[in-house]
Amino acid sequence: MAVIDIDHVTKDYGHKRGIFDVSFSVKKGEVELNPKNWREV
C-alpha cells in the first residue's frame, strides 16, 4: 500500500512547463528523512 501516490502531475510556471505527466508512489518505509542533514535556507 502506497502512503504517497502521485499520478499524472503536470506543473506550469508562467508560460513554461516545468513538470509534465509525472507519476510515482512511495510505500511505507521506502524513504527515511534525516533532519541532521537539513539546513536552513
Answer yes or no: is 36 within a domain: no
Put simply, whether the predicted model's pTM sits higher than 0.85 gets the answer no
The residue behind cell 534525516 is 34
How far is the C-alpha of 18 from the C-alpha of 26, rounded, in Å?
22
The per-residue pLDDT for range 11-36, each reduced to its tens digit, is: 999 999 999 999 999 999 898 888 88
What is residue 31's predicted lDDT score, i.e. its pLDDT?
Answer: 86
Answer yes or no: is 35 within a domain: no
Answer yes or no: is 40 within a domain: no
Amino acid at 12: D
Answer yes or no: is 34 within a domain: no
Tally of domains in the chain = 1
How far is the C-alpha of 22 from the C-alpha of 11, rounded, in Å?
9
What is residue 13's predicted lDDT score, i.e. its pLDDT?
Answer: 95
Answer yes or no: is 11 within a domain: yes
Answer yes or no: is 39 within a domain: no
For residue 23, what are the domain limits?
2-28
**More confident of the two residues 19 and 39:** 19
Give the model's confidence band at 39: pLDDT under 50 very low, under 70 low, under 90 confident, else very high: confident
What is residue 37's predicted lDDT score, i.e. its pLDDT?
Answer: 74
